[in-house]
Amino acid sequence: MGKLFGTDGIRGEANRPPMDGPTGFSLGHSLGTILRRGDRPLRVVLGKDTRISGDMLESAVAAGIASAGVDVLTAGVLPTPGVAFLTRDLKAGAGVMISASHNPFQDNGIKVFSAEGTKLSDEEEAALEEGILQGPSPHTGAPPLPGRILPLADAPSRYGAFLQETFPKGLSLKGLRLVLDTANGATFETAPAVFQDLGAEVEVLHHRPDGKNINAACGSEDTRVLEARVRETAAGLGLAFDGDGDRLVAVDEAGRRLTGDQVLMILARDLKERGALAGDLLVTTVMSNLGLTEACARLGIRHHASRVGDRFVLEEMRRLGAVLGGEDSGHMILLDHHTTGDGILSGLQLLACLIRSGSPLSELAGVMTVFPQALVNVEVSRKPDLVSLPAVSRAIGDVESELGERGRVLVRYSGTQNVCRVMVEGPTPGETQQACERIARAVETEIG
């Protein structure tokens, strides 16, 4: 079956290995077995998003965990950061989320959290993967008593209360008109309730999941409907989440989509002005726009770039003592509040910045100038070292030489899909797009 874990858990087409019932059972059994060997609590929090395959995988993973003698607390449909929160709050031994995040409904995935509510380390993933690939082994002695599978009926209310507590005391959302796009995903109930309870006037788009419409022309992946609705209703802003609720994309009052980097810079400037940006440090990834680097330098904020993937951002944040980090894709980690990216929480903190400043979101977004950027995703049949592909290396070298200090090139494989991502930043949109497409053609010719 090969290596299972990518940059964000295991993903694949639902009902095919590795995203099938047998693999789900093996993962649950492997996780339960590891917990029984250690000194962690023998219970696991299990959540899912709204995909039609979620029920099948939930049942398989739960059965595997219980077969190893560990209890399962099923949270039902809940955002990924909700599972991370409950794992920590309920002092569980681990948490499992069944979701393929922003992928289409045909895919699904499994993410595993430690007892601290963080993504697993490489070593922990390797140990779990070894158990999955080996499969459940026969019991040499008396088998353990099976664990129980218990519904966690108050999971949404527990998580919602936590989110509301992160909103600064003394601030209110009363009078704010807000449009939410929940992507027919895991935030479809939690997000509207949280913002309404804090006083906002909320309109919700794409909040009727049917198992197949998650992320379909909606949510953080496609904000066109949200942008139009913000303009039509003269709303203060719009917030969009992805299928599992760990990403945030914001739309200003004029219906213009902000980049994740712009939101991170708004948060960073606010924290710095209040003396709450530890070490005056912001951690992002190598995919962040050059405009973010420029804005950090102008504002006296130190900037560190990690590998792509929110768990690598978190690792660097902890190593360097940062409290704010994230990705341009919309993953944002606010360590003073949570251990993982949380779209609803990020939206709340962005609204707090808006209220404190008294300025519209369009004005706050001016904290950084976004350099023209082009991104092309090329489907690939294999993932060899890019250096071993002569035509690709030549195309990258030629573009880098032409751009010089006016831009940059980043070419990398997706950790969750059979895709090569080609990103170019340059001085003009036209020149940037042409350069990006030139490299993408080379990739497609060699390994497409």
Catalytic residues, which ones? 101
- Report yes or no: 218 and 184 within 8 Å, Cβ to Cβ: yes
Pull the structure tokens for residue 3: 């290596």
Strand 149-151 to 107-113 pairing = unpaired
Residue with tokens 């810079």: 265
- Report yes or no: 289 and 371 within 8 Å, Cβ to Cβ: yes
Q: Compute the distance between CA of residue 170 and CA of residue 177 in angstroms, rounded to an integer.
A: 19
Q: Which helix (H) or strand (E) holds 241?
A: strand 237-241
Q: Compute the distance between CA of residue 175 and CA of residue 26 in angstroms, rounded to an integer.
A: 51
Q: How many C-beta atoms surround the C-beta of residue 171 within 10 A?
A: 15
- Report yes or no: 95 and 117 within 8 Å, Cβ to Cβ: yes
> How far does Cα 355 stand from its chain's mean position?
26
Residue with tokens 């070894």: 130
Q: Compute the distance between CA of residue 253 and CA of residue 361 in angstroms, rounded to an integer.
A: 7
- Report yes or no: 355 and 257 within 8 Å, Cβ to Cβ: no
Closest CA to 418 of 370, 367, 371, 384: 384
- Report yes or no: 144 and 68 within 8 Å, Cβ to Cβ: yes
Which residues are CB-contacts of 331 (< 8 A; sequence separation ≥ 6)?
Answer: 246, 247, 260, 310, 313, 341
Phi then psi for 438, rounded to 5 degrees? -65, -45
Q: Compute the distance between CA of residue 76 and CA of residue 249 in angstroms, rounded to an integer.
A: 25
Q: How many C-beta atoms surround the C-beta of residue 316 within 10 A?
A: 18
| Residue 378, helix vs strand vs coil | strand
Which amino acid belongs to residue 239? L
Q: Compute the distance between CA of residue 162 and CA of residue 155 in angstroms, rounded to an integer.
A: 11
Q: First and final CA of the chain: distance in angstroms?
A: 22
**Is the preceding omega at residue 168 within 30 degrees of 0, hence cis?**
no
In order of 72, 117, 164, 204, the CA distances from 270 in angstroms are 40, 26, 19, 28
Work out the angle at residue 416's Cα, subtended by the Cα atoms of residues 414 and 422, and round it to the nearest 5 degrees: 15
